[in-house]
Chain A
Amino acid sequence: MTNLGKQPAAGGGGLLQIDGLRKAYGDQVILRDLTLSVPEHQCLVLIGASGSGKSTLLRCINLLEQVDDGTILLQGNDITDPRVDADTVRAQVGIVFQAFNLFPHMSVLDNITLAPRRVHGIDRGTAERQAREMLDRVGLADKAKARPDDLSGGQQQRVAIARALVNKPLLMLFDEVTSALDPELVGEVLTLLTDLKHDGTTMLVATHEMAFAREVADQVVFLADGSIAEAGPPSQVMDHPSDPRTQKFLRRMSF
């Protein structure tokens, strides 16, 4: 096992380091020989057409899917090693889904305290205090006792973000967290993501929001045909794309 304090290698390394990742469903190859790295405190934005494998990549990093080849290093440790305890890894990597996936039978507060109490063994009082602080941070201090179904989509998504953040993950994954929202609710969630970035959260964001990508991303990665077609700072990838697929995709997105 790689040692924890290992320095990032030149041109790679970082909090998250993916090398030669391959993932297929049956004989349909979704990701092939994919390599990317996310340095600490940076925001990497994944863009790409629908079906290009953005969600699949995030699910692999969260070990919700088994990879078919390659390695995923988190702080230098290979989390795809079958001897690694997947639950421990998941507890360190937060993920927020497009469809919120709050637990409908629990209050907002219970949704947020579930993992701290049942996974991290934090006592109820402390967990609830932390949960309320987190709710305050996402601007929903008054909704602790509400049921998820009684909240608007944007509020539900902010609760989902609070639920992931409260575990103080090393890395946050966001999977198109605004695409199930009405246009007027998208802003509140993106603002929150922007705040998180400024607070130094390391994040990997799959999104179709190009303006957001341009504003927040340290690095933009364009996925096509199962691998990275183009990567670099937003000014380069989004304003001067060199790959024809990127050019076509960006033209479509801007109309």
Chain B
Amino acid sequence: MSDTDDGWVASKVQLDRESYRRRRTRRSVLIASVSTVVVVAVVVLVVVNTPGWPRFRSTFLDLSYGWEVLPDIASGLWLNIRLMVICEIAILIVALVVALLRSLRGPAWFPLRALAIAYTDLFRGLPLILVLFLLGFGMPSLRLDWLPKSGLFWGCVALVLTYGAYVSEVLRAGIESVHPSQRAAARSLGLNHGKTMRFVVVPQAVRRVLPPLLNDLVSLMKDTGLISVLGVVYDAVLNAKIETSQTYNYTPYVVAGVLFVIITIPLTRLTDWVARRQGWTGAGGTV
């Protein structure tokens, strides 16, 4: 916009338009601020005046206790973050393989396709908590020497299997959304099925489903906290639980919650940003 050197001076109409827009922006900012303050004030007043408030405050919002347990929980959270990164990589690999298997055509591939379908149907239907219990407690109890016994390991496997099923469906939707003419164009150049997928279809598919993929990543971050039900992983949630069971004060849970939110907010913002940049219509949109 540096072409003011053409001697352009804004006309009166343009100046009027701009000053009107400025006034309108100021007014909406003012209205938004006032209404936010009023709503917050009302909520605080209502909550503080409930009969159980003093008790609630001491068991859930004990600031000094919260500060005391913060380092423990934060170090647990570091484990959650590492778990998320490792699981996410495994999930993407599993999901891509399953999505590609499902997109194979022709009778020769039927067994693999059927297997992939059975896998997604099964793991999308099972509640994550059930998979965690079945694998986390079930696998080690088989007493097979060659199987890992670590609850952490099986917890991750449960997350990868469950999320792999969801993410593979997202990727498959993306693959199928690439118009058949793109495939035809690639095949007509002599690219075989594999190369067509690798260079033409999958790159376009991934771009399209990036927002929902990031959405699943946020969700995965939170669900790493569920591994604590196996009681073997000293992550943020379990550390909070240990503290709580000693004092019957629930502040550690609140601290863990706040930390999770702080971690996931940048991810959600990133998701929004990517979505906006691609003109994706938000969480309501189907992929």
B181, B189, B203: the one contacting A167 at CB < 8 Å is B189
The CA-CA distance from A176 to B199 in the complex, in Å, is: 26
Q: How large is the interface on B (under 10, 10 to 19, 20 to 34, 35 or more residues)?
A: 10 to 19
Query: Which of B2-10, B56-64, B132-140, B190-198 forms part of the interface with chain A?
Result: B190-198
CA distance A91 to B186 in the complex (A): 10
**46-99 of chain A: CB within 8 A of chain B:** 59, 62, 64, 87-88, 90-95, 97, 99
A163-B182 contact in complex given A118-B199, A119-B195, C-beta closer than 8 Å: no
**Within residues 75 to 131 of chain A, which ones have a CB less than 8 A from any CB in chain B?**
87-88, 90-95, 97, 99, 101-105, 114-115, 118-120
Check A88 against B190 for contact (C-beta < 8 Å).
Answer: yes
| Chain B residues with CB under 8 A of A102 | 185
Known A103-B200, A104-B204, A118-B199: A64·B184 in contact at CB below 8 Å: yes
Question: Is B187 close to A, CB under 8 A?
Answer: yes
Looking across the interface, which residue of chain B has its beta carbon closest to that of A58?
B188
Chain A positions within 8 Å of B191 at CB level: 87, 114-115, 118-119
Q: Give the distance in Å from the alpha carbon of A119 to the alpha carbon of B199 in the complex.
A: 12
Please provide the chain B residues from 158 to 195 with a CB less than 8 Å away from any CB of chain A in the complex: 181-182, 184-192, 195
Which residues of the other chain, B, contact A167 by a CB distance below 8 angstroms?
A: 189-190
20 pairs of residues in contact across A and B, judged by CB atoms under 8 Å:
A64-B184, A87-B187, A87-B190, A88-B190, A90-B188, A90-B189, A91-B189, A99-B181, A102-B185, A103-B204, A105-B204, A114-B186, A114-B191, A114-B200, A118-B195, A118-B199, A119-B190, A119-B195, A164-B188, A164-B189
- Sorted from nearest, which 7 A-B pairs have the closest CB atoms? A91-B190, A101-B185, A115-B189, A119-B190, A90-B190, A95-B188, A87-B192
A interface residues with partner B (beta carbon < 8 Å): 59, 62, 64, 87-88, 90-95, 97, 99, 101-105, 114-115, 118-120, 163-164, 167
